Structures are given as structure tokens and as C-alpha cells.
Amino acid sequence: MSAPRTDAPTDKGYRHYQATRREFWNRLASRGAKPPASRYYHKRLAEIYRFLVPGGLRVIELGSGSGDLLAALSPSRGLGIDFAEEAVAVARGRHPNLEFRCADIHELDLDETFDVIILSDLVNDIWDVELVLRKVANLCTPESRIIINSFNRLWQAPIALGRVARFIAPVLKQNWLSGQDLSNLLRLADIEVISRTGEVLWPIRTPLIDAFFNRFLVKLWPFNHLSLTNFVVARPDLTRSKSASSDLSVSVIVPARNEAGHIDAILERTPRMGSRTELIFVEGNSTDDTFEVIKRAVTERGDPDIRFYQQPGKGKGDAVRFGYQHATGEILMILDADMTVAPEDLPRFYQAIAEGKGEFINGVRLVYPMDEEAMQFLNYLGNKFFGLVFSWLLRQPVKDTLCGTKVLTRKSYDLIAANRSYFGDFDPFGDFDLLFGAAKINLKILDMPIRYRDREYGTTNIDRWRHGMVLLKMAAFAVRRLKLV
């Protein structure tokens, strides 16, 4: 069996192709100013990339041109690679705080990794896309994100007309990759797609009109399929080389309000996972004797890995965040104290995240048949509806937003917490604080079907109508923060 192909191509066609393009891009860089439509288009691209890439990360851009996009992201370490000497010279003059190197990305060999790798309007123009993506994979850590935007082939004729009219910057003959073409090439390079979006429906600066088309209309079906550029956010495919590790420690956070009758069962049935499993109860202002039951049961066991606290604030979201503050595990799990999700299901969540199949494992109650009294019919319909709405908002399929069992790593949670100010501290449930945050930092969300069971003690703390209105308000807020950007 031959080794994976990562060498640079050597045939004459490739050499001629590169020489022609180098000359073309050098000539374009020396001209300076871009045509009007191109200026607006690149300004809009920078806005989208700033949404996708938090500041302060290590970022490399392949095909960096003038370096303006890289500079717009405020990286802690910014490296731009371009094979056009004139473009590199321009970039160095404009952005002396960043590094720019002149190199052919087909021959790239860097002994360095990055948090974010950007290929903006590059895959349409390169000789061997698969080879370059394999080079990209070598620049990644397990947490790296690869962001690619490329022209939609539906715009081939309008773009050609715009260039004839000198309203759009010229280019040479292009690759025209469909979304499926690019997904296949990424898969061949052991890279996994996280999300796809269409952007830019109106590529001309027109007050009010461009904002309506490019911040709102392009987010909706069928207009999203008509966008000028397609964005893909991807990550290294960890499942090819990673097996479930038993060395990771686990913290199981149990928010408990009026759940006295379930405490002993949780203690008896929660399995040990990884190298160490700690169980943290956060009691939330119960009107029954939940806190006393927890205190007595934990004291009797005398296990240092079982701890309990009284929640200082209100709401499940506050309880979860408080529990995370006191957790020491590398993997963080939420287990609702109502026992409608069996503790015995938790090892499946552990395995999924330890094997790298996802970075945010979300429990789903709507796949398997549930117990007769587990969920009322109107609640079921509401959960279905909000699953569709939030899948659209989060750019990833999330079938059940309110299942209490959610699992992520400590490292991922710390990133979400660091970016919490973007959404604010408004989520009483805790589920959406995590889901919105995971989507904002481009975590791979994976649904995990579980069987939903009747509660054996007490009544639900969810008020269907009151909390349904809260969910609608949160959805409207998320549209503004996740879509209208």
C-alpha cells in the first residue's frame, strides 16, 4: 500500500498553470485598487470571518493576497502564505505586525500548527485541491478549524459578465466545485465538515438592499442555495486515529430541585467512567427535603468524589454553571435529577466524545419510543418545532434542544464561557447557553438518541406555556446574534 499523497505535483501542466497564475496575480497586486463590487464583496467576507473566528487565535491564511482578511481577524499569531511576490510585498507593507511568506501551497511544509486555517476563494483557483487539503490537515491540532469559502457555480455567467464590464476583478479559468465535490475532497483528506452556509446574495453596495439580501434573505430557503459564495467550516476527522480513552476524568453535574425521591437511585446507578468519575449535586432552592436527603446520602457514603452544594442563584442554567465552576473532570456531563434519562446511558456519551465523534454530545428523546407519561403530546410537538428552528439557527442538526443530558470537554466549555458575553447571561435552562456557545465557536454537535422514561417522583419543573414563550424569545434573540450578521 502506498503512503498518502502529500508531495507536490511535478508535471509540465502544473508548472505552466502555476507560472501563468503567478504572473496574473502579481500583475493584479501591482494595480492596487479593486473594482467596486470586489471591494464590497471582500468587506462582507471580512464581516463573516470575524463572526466565525474569535480574536486572539493562531491563524494561517493560504492565498492571503493583500493580507487584509487575516488582519481583520486580530490573530495572536497571523501567517499569510501566497505565491505572488507582489501580493506578499503589499501585505507586508500594509500589515507589518503579521508575517507573510512567498510560497506555493502545493509544496508547503511547515513545522507549526494553527487554531484556524483559512482558504478564502482559493479552492476555485488551485491545481490540486485534494493535495492542498492534505497539506492543510498537517497544520491542524485536534481542536483546529478549517474555514473555506468558494464561488457557487450558479454565478459563473453573472461573474463573467461583471468582469467584462470591469465591475468585478478578473480571474483566470476556475475550478467550479459543488458543495458535494468539496465535501468529498475534504473526506479524502481526513477532514470532517461541521457546517455549510451560503453567503452574499447581493454583491453590490446598495444602501438597505444589500443588508436585507445579505444578512437576512440569504439565510432562508431557497435563497441560501443561490448565494454567491459557499462557506464550509470543518475539523480534522479524529475518528480515523482515535479510540475511546480510559484516561479521561469525568464530572457529572446533577441539578436537583424538588427531587428528594431520586437521590439514592442516582448515587447507586451512576456508573464509573474513565480514570475517575466525580458526582456533583447542585440543589436549587427546593420546597421539599432534597438538600437534606443529598447531605445525608453523601455523608453516609464518605466518597470524596461525591460532593454537594446549594445553588446561590436561581434556575437550572445557573445551577449547571455553578456545578461546572466546582468540577475538576476533563469531560463535563449534565444528568437531570428527575431520572427521565437513565444514568446507565452516560457511558455512551463518554465513548462518543472520547473517540472524537463529536465535541458536544446532545441527548435526543424524540427517536426511540418513550414511556407513556414521559412527555405530553403538546410538549412533544413543541420540542419537534424548536428542534427544527434551532437546527437552522445553529447550522447543524439538533433534534432535541431541551434534553437535559449534554456532554462536552472542559476545554470546550471554557471557550464557550470566554465567549458568553456575545449572547449574555439570559438562559434560565442552561441548554441554550451551551448550544449557542457551541455553535458560535464551531464545535461539532452530535445527537445521541436515548430512551425517555417516566419520572418516578414529583412533578416536572417545566411550565409548558410560560417556558414556551421564553423559548420563542430566545429563538428571536438567537436569530439576531447567529443569523443577522
Task: Return the domain boundaries, the chain.
Answer: 12-239, 249-483
pLDDT of residue 426: 67
Give me the sheet containing 114-120, strands edge to edge: 99-102, 77-82, 58-62, 114-120, 140-151, 229-236, 191-199
- 107-137 pLDDT, tens digit each: 999 999 999 999 999 999 999 999 999 999 9
* 12-239 matches 249-483 in fold: no
Burial track 66-95 (b if 16+ CB lie within 10 A, e otherwise): bbbbbbbbebeebbbbbbbebbbbbbbeeb
The pLDDT assigned to 1 comes to: 34
Look at residue 2 in the predicted model and tell me its pLDDT. Answer: 38
Per-residue model confidence (pLDDT) at position 299: 94
For the domain made up of 249-483, give the CATH fold. Spore Coat Polysaccharide Biosynthesis Protein SpsA; Chain A (3.90.550)
Is 459 strand, coil or helix?
A: coil
- Stretches where the chain sits below pLDDT 70 are 1-8, 10, 32-37, 162-163, 165-170, 240-245, 370-380, 382-383, 426-428, 455, 457-468
pLDDT at 67: 95
Protein fold of 12-239: Rossmann fold (3.40.50)
* Predicted local distance difference test score (pLDDT) of residue 307: 96
**What is the C-alpha to C-alpha distance for residues 322 and 282, in angstroms, rounded to an integer?**
8
Rounded distance, CA 143 to CA 276, Å?
Answer: 23
